[in-house]
Structure 1
Amino acid sequence: MKLTVFGATGGVGREVVRQALDAGHEVTAVVRDPARLGVPAHDRLRVAVVRDLTDEDALVPLLAGREAVVSALGAASNKQARLTPVAGPALRAVVSAMDRAGVTRLSAVSAAPLGPVTPADGVIARKVVLPVLRRLLRDVYADLAVMEAAIAGSRTGWTVVRPPRLLNRPRTGTYRRAVDGNVPGGRSIPRADVADALLTTLGDPSTAGHAIGIAT
């Protein structure tokens, strides 16, 4: 499969690039700073530098001839999301550029707090932990909510992946999934498993048009 990956220098995006190459895919990694990619040169890897991800005209050539897009974009902090939202503005441009380039499949990472509350999580998690988290990271989640709305309103065959707390651990491949909901009791997941989920959903048409909750 020929893929274009946005957010390729982040923890999840870097794993997406590595795993996609290992699986035999051809990857265009879209970055602002190539030095931060941290993936060895490969004959199936193209690195494209784009400073402004809202520049739709600059994105179209990077999508022409591609079969799918993976977005691992997201603000690094609540302050960044408040001052310069990342995911929402970028994905508005990305889905429009995909339409122009004729690319119809998209998977994008979001976050579990944007999903519905799971009664199985218990009272403390539902009444204390989640409200505090949503308040502390309200600008990050607001940015992701704009992103999800842009994706849902597009003509792409989209899948949104919503993980809880991210860990720097090896891929397990044994995480749980919940369609249009969060995983009951799901507290964390390795970034490598999030990357696995983003790539796996591309080949699973049953996930198109759905948000998938994942957790270990």
Structure 2
Amino acid sequence: MRVTVFGATGAIGRLVVQRLLDDGHQVTALVRTPAKLSLTHRNVTVVTGQLTDRDAVEEAVTGAEAVISALGPSLKRSETGTALSEGTRTLVEAMAAQKVTRFIGLATPSLADSRDGPHWKHKVLPVLAGVLFPNALSELTSMTDAVTGSGLDYTIARITNPTNGPATGRIRAGFLGHDRVGSAMSRGDIAAFLVSQLTDTRYRRAMPAISN
């Protein structure tokens, strides 16, 4: 499958790219600094540009069968601006223009899915995020709204505590208040879940929470 990856030079994005290659997919990555990808492979095409560059984004998604976004906002309290949310809107528009419908991305349980039941995370996490990371929460909310409010066939995985431990292959997914989903999850397993959604239809147009 031809898959375009955004956030390919990040901690999770690198693992997504490697997992895709291991599974035999063709990857296109939009990156600001190609040297940071530190990967050369005959099945990788690199497009240089920023998320806010409409031409570069449209070039990256042209011919894709799916998009995986490992993008997330900075957790620095000093961070300001709306570059990620604006860029996500650009991405959604480019996908529509190129008739690419499948989107797989990331969020946190600070944002609820309509399938969730009552859960402490809905009460605690938005308050904590609003106090500690107000710009990150605002960006994440706007990014998610841009995707879920579009006509895209999306799956957005909600993660709480990504870790650097090795991939375990043990993945729990579901909806808060109904399914047994914890908080910690290795980045390798997060990447594996995102890639698995290329063929798994259980969470189409949904935002499952995932953990180990």
Confirm or deny a common fold (TM above 0.5): yes
Q: Establish whether residue 37 from structure 1 lines up as the match of residue 68 from structure 2.
A: no
**Contact residue 95 and residue 151 of structure 1 kept, 8 A:** yes
CA deviation map 1:56-107 (0-9, x unaligned) = 2322121111100001111232346x42334311110111100111111010
> Which residue pairs with 1:63 in the alignment?
61
Q: Is residue 182–residue 212 contact of structure 1 (8 Å, CA) maintained in 2?
A: no
Structure-1 separation of matches of 2:190 and 2:54? 27
Structure 1: distance between partners of 2:119 and 2:166:
27
Alignment match of 2:96 (pick from 94, 99, 116) = 99
Let me know the Cα RMSD of the aligned residues: 2.3
Structure 1 pair 54/126, CA: closer, same or farther in 2 (3 Å)?
closer
- The change in CA–CA distance for 1:182 and 1:89 in structure 2 (over 3 A counts) is farther
Distance 1:178 1:64, change over 3 A: same
Distance 1:61 1:109 in 2: 22
* 1:202 to 2:203 alignment: no
* Structure 2 residue matching 1:96: 3-state secondary structure: helix
Distance 2:201 2:101 in 1: 12
User: For 1:171, what is the secondary structure of its paired residue?
Assistant: coil
Residue correspondence of structure 1 range 115-194 to structure 2 within 5 A:
115=112, 131-179=127-175, 184=180, 186-194=182-190
Equivalence for 1:22: 22
**Alignment gaps of 5+ in structure 2:** none
2:118–2:177 contact (8 Å) kept in structure 1: no
Stretches of structure 1 that go unaligned for 5 or more consecutive residues are: none
Aligned sequence identity (%): 34
TM-superposed deviation, 1:214: 0.3
The whole-number CA distance in structure 2 between the counterparts of 1:56 and 1:127 is 37
Alignment of 1:112 with 2:96, yes or no, is: no
Q: AA paired with 2:58?
A: V
Could you tell me which amino acid in structure 2 is paired with residue 188 of structure 1? Answer: A
Task: Looking at secondary structure, tell me which structure has more helix per residue.
Answer: 1
SS in structure 2 at match of 1:112: coil
- Aligned to 1:8, the other structure's residue is in SS state coil
**One of 74, 77, 80 as aligned partner of 2:72:** 74
- Aligned partners of 1:145 and 1:120: how far apart in 2? 19
Which TM-score applies when normalising by structure 1? 0.87
The count of aligned residue pairs is: 210
